[in-house]
Amino acid sequence: MGIVLAIASTIAYYCKGMKDQVTELGEFIRAQRERSAISVRHLADRAGISNPYLSQIERGLRKPSAEILKGIAKGLSISAETLYVRAGLLEHPDGTPSVIEAIDDDPALTARQRQALLEIYRSFLDQNDET
Number of domains into which the chain is organized: 1
User: What would the pLDDT profile of 4-58 be if each residue is shown by its tens digit?
Assistant: 544 544 444 444 444 588 889 999 999 999 988 999 999 999 999 999 999 999 9
**Interhelix angle for 51-58 vs 2-35, to 10°?**
120
CATH code of residue 61: 1.10.260.40
Q: What percent of the chain has pLDDT over 90?
A: 35
State the pLDDT confidence band at 87, using cuts at 50, 70 and 90.
confident
DSSP class of residue 85?
A: H
**How many Å apart are CA 131 and CA 121, to the nearest integer?**
16
Structural domain of 124:
2-130
Instruction: Name which residue leads in pLDDT, 126 or 51.
Output: 51
Q: Measured between alpha carbons, how far is 90 from 59 in angstroms, rounded to an integer? A: 22
| pLDDT for position 6 | 46
Whole-model pTM: value is 0.64
**What is the mean pLDDT of the segment spanning 67-86?**
90
